[in-house]
Amino acid sequence: MNPDSEDLPTTSTRGADRVLVDVVRRTPVDIAQQQIRRRLLLWIVIIVLLLIGLAALRRFTADRPVVYQSAAEHFLYGSIGSEPGGSLLHPVGGMLPPMPVLGVLPDMFPDKLPGGFASLGLIQEKGHTLPIGMSERRRLGLDMVGLNCAVCHVGTLRTRPDGPTTIIPGMPAHQLDLQGLFAFVLDSTLDPRFTADNVIGHVEAKFGRLSLVDRVIIRASIGPLRERTLQLRSRVGILFAADAARWGPGRVDTFNPYKSLQFNWDLSRLPHDEIVAASDFPSLWNQAPREGMHLHWDGNNTSLDERNLSAGLGAGITPTTVDYEGVARVKEYIESLPSPRWPEDPDMPLDHVRAQRGATVYRQACAECHDFGAPLVGQIEPLDKIGTDRARFNSYTTAFADNQNTLFAGTAHHFHSFRKTVGYTSPPLDGIWARAPYLHTGSVPTLADLLETPERRPRAFYRGYDVYDPKRVGFVANVAEEKGHRFFLFKTVDDAGRPISGNGKDGHTYGTDLSSDAKADLLEYLKTL
């Protein structure tokens, strides 16, 4: 033991002295200020956490569409509520994956869609991320993508192969392969390569680095997307089967998909004749004077509002996700949307002398059924009289109409006007020159062909080409390919010469007995409507 150790302070004694000094030096004011700082820091942390929570809550509970001030822009890109809703794990409605997943599908699966979305006839305008007819809405923490009315009702036209493309709102989307779009999305999201890592990698390569939150959300959404796709395929897959008639560009089976998706009908139990029912897209201009007429090809409804909501159901809305304000804006736009005028272009000649003579032919041969204000316009022509393909007629049944009239129950939009009819309606012919191909099946390429007897109409022709034939009044129908893009060979009869159900070119023989000169005059006049 060190004899001098008793004279040295220990370490513990020194520490105690320092504590004592600190206590002596800290006044009550110092202690109060420290407590205030601690409380202030605690409140700051609480507020920051609340803000983060509110931001997260806002992101994951938001239901905000992209808003367009222009009615025309809203028609082309605005939401009607067809984007998936519900919850992230159980999305309902909608037929498309969210952005930016949709945007990278062609990059991930070039073997399934070599030409990208453009090869399906989707129209891409500069300055827009999505094609015409697709809308964005923030739901479930993601930018969800849906379809709107424009996807089926905006067409393109060129007056010559090297000419500019004119986009015509309200025109039937004769170039759009809607069935091909659905098939591509279904096949892609069920492909083994559709994994979270692969999707995120392609998204970041195309759109830039994702935030941690976005990566987590996309990763969490892949499984539910695949599950929803499996459900869709199991319910509507029969419409894509090998023995089902291909819709082809410009056509859609309007009601069979929503027999399954809205009413849970098992399509495999329906008669085969009932599930082959593709029809041409109609025009969507000058709708106000159509109120009260029989609408849809078979005239099954006389209400524009019900017709519009019904079409929205086909695009993917549900009674719980529908955006009534968005649908109302579309209605207001199309009520006064004028039909397009014949182009003033050297490649699109119009013989005004012939057109004047053709007006007389039109009044004698066509006006009674197809002129605004005429007694039979917008009325039902019995099937045994009109003689056109009956597949669309067979598909729309009384049982289906009864089920439709249960939709939107308990709201001001409750359906009540759907009826099974005895034939097809006789629509007005405004803008008829821009509504090719013709008949409700789209089985006759030009008006010149429609004025021929059924046996003289083409047995096969190509659909989807947007170069116009001003002489025959319709789109050029003998071009198989342009710049690597192959057009759809539409057949009205099979290889044995038997009519293909849903593709019939028979019927509507009105005007076929006119002289050659009278037909030529009538064609010139029809260009002016």
Residue 7 CA, distance from chain mean position: 94
Mean pLDDT lowest among 120-129, 267-276, 353-362, 471-480 = 267-276
Q: Quote the pLDDT of residue 38.
A: 80
DSSP state of 488: E
Q: Quote the pLDDT of residue 477.
A: 97
Q: How far apart are CA 342 and CA 396, in angstroms?
A: 35
Cα-based distances in Å from 48 to 25, 41, 54, 508: 35, 11, 10, 71
Q: Quote the pLDDT of residue 9.
A: 46
Q: Quote the pLDDT of residue 41.
A: 81
Residue 447: Cβ-neighbour burial (10 angstroms; 0-12, 13-18, 19+): buried
Q: Quote the pLDDT of residue 227.
A: 86
For residue 298, what are its two tokens?
């078979």
Q: Quote the pLDDT of residue 20.
A: 45
Q: Quote the pLDDT of residue 62.
A: 67
The answer to whether residue 96 scores a pLDDT higher than 70 is yes
**Model pTM score:** 0.86
Mean pLDDT lowest among 28-37, 168-177, 515-524 = 28-37
Question: Is residue 519 assigned to a domain?
Answer: no
Instruction: Report percent pLDDT > 70 for the chain.
Output: 89
Strand arrangement of the beta sheet that strand 63-65 belongs to: 63-65, 134-139, 142-147
Residue 484, C-beta contacts closer than 8 angstroms, at least 6 positions apart: 115
The answer to whether residue 63 scores a pLDDT higher than 90 is no
Residue with tokens 């942390």: 45
Residue 319: Cβ-neighbour burial (10 angstroms; 0-12, 13-18, 19+): middle
Q: Quote the pLDDT of residue 15.
A: 53
Question: Is residue 496 assigned to a domain?
Answer: no
Question: Is residue 381 assigned to a domain?
Answer: no
For 439-446, what is the mean pLDDT?
Answer: 97
For 478-503, what is the mean pLDDT?
Answer: 93
For residue 321, what are its two tokens?
């996700």
Question: Torsion angle, CA of 320/325/328/333, rounded to 10 degrees?
Answer: -130
DSSP state of 341: P
Question: Is residue 127 assigned to a domain?
Answer: no
Q: Do the Cβ atoms of 168 and 340 come closer than 8 Å?
A: yes
Question: Is residue 279 assigned to a domain?
Answer: no
223-247 confidence digits (pLDDT tens): 888 888 888 888 888 887 755 668 9
Range of the domain at 32: 22-61
How many CB atoms neighbour CB 372 within 10 A?
Answer: 14
Burial 164-190 (b: 16+ CB within 10 A, else e): eebebbbbbbbbbbbbbbbbbbbbbbe
Question: Is residue 298 assigned to a domain?
Answer: no
Q: Quote the pLDDT of residue 3.
A: 44
Q: Quote the pLDDT of residue 86.
A: 62
Q: How far apart are CA 168 and CA 435, in angstroms?
A: 11
Q: Quote the pLDDT of residue 484.
A: 87
Q: Quote the pLDDT of residue 6.
A: 46
Overall number of domains in the chain: 1
Residue with tokens 């150790």: 5
Mean pLDDT lowest among 55-64, 292-301, 396-405 = 55-64
347-357 confidence digits (pLDDT tens): 999 999 999 99
Q: Do the Cβ atoms of 174 and 185 come closer than 8 Å?
A: no
Mean pLDDT lowest among 147-151, 271-275, 383-387, 436-440 = 271-275
For residue 365, what are its two tokens?
């041969």
Q: Quote the pLDDT of residue 240.
A: 74
Question: Is residue 273 assigned to a domain?
Answer: no
Q: Quote the pLDDT of residue 8.
A: 43
Instruction: Report percent pLDDT > 90 for the chain.
Output: 67
Question: Is residue 51 assigned to a domain?
Answer: yes
- Higher-scoring residue by pLDDT: 167, 220: 167
Residue 137: Cβ-neighbour burial (10 angstroms; 0-12, 13-18, 19+): buried
409-437 confidence digits (pLDDT tens): 999 999 999 999 999 999 999 999 999 99
The answer to whether residue 120 scores a pLDDT higher than 80 is yes
For 333-342, what is the mean pLDDT?
Answer: 97
For 364-370, what is the mean pLDDT?
Answer: 96
Mean pLDDT of the chain: 89
